[in-house]
Amino acid sequence: MSRLSRRALPAVALSGLALPALGQSRYPDRTITVIVPFAAGGPTDTVARLVAEAMGRDLGGTVVVENVGGAGGTLGAQRTAQARPDGYTILVHHIGMATIPTLYRRLAYDPVNGFEAVGLITEVPMTLVAKRGIEANNLQELIALVRRQRDRINLANAGVGAASHLCGLLFQSALQVPMTTVPYRGTAPAMNDLVGGTVDLMCDQTTNTTEQIRAGTIRAFATTTENRVGALPDVPTAREAGLPNFEVSVWHGLYAPRNTPREIVNRLSASLQTALRDPNLVRRFNDLGTEPVSQDKATPEAHRAFWQADIARWRPIIQAAGQYAD
Interatomic CA distance for residues 287 and 258, integer angstroms: 34
Q: What is the Cα 197 distance to its own chain's centre?
A: 27
- The reported pLDDT for the residue numbered 25 is 62
Interatomic CA distance for residues 149 and 140, integer angstroms: 14
Enumerate residues 6+ apart whose C-beta is below 8 A from 86: 260, 261, 264
* Residue whose C-alpha is closest to residue 121's, from 210, 58, 55, 188: 55
Per-residue pLDDT of the chain (326 residues; tens, 9 = 90+): 444 344 443 433 333 333 333 334 689 999 999 999 988 888 889 999 999 999 999 999 999 999 998 888 899 999 999 999 999 999 999 999 999 999 999 999 999 999 999 999 999 889 999 999 999 999 999 999 999 998 899 999 988 778 898 899 889 989 999 899 999 988 889 999 999 999 999 999 888 899 999 999 999 999 998 899 988 999 999 999 999 889 888 999 999 999 999 999 999 999 999 999 999 999 999 988 889 999 999 999 999 999 999 999 889 888 887 878 87
Query: Are 51 and 298 in contact, with CB atoms under 8 Å apart?
Result: no
* pTM greater than the 0.85 cutoff: no
Residue ranges in 150-243 assigned as alpha helix (H): 163-175, 187-196, 206-215
* Residue whose C-alpha is closest to residue 182's, from 163, 157, 218: 157
Interatomic CA distance for residues 67 and 70, integer angstroms: 10
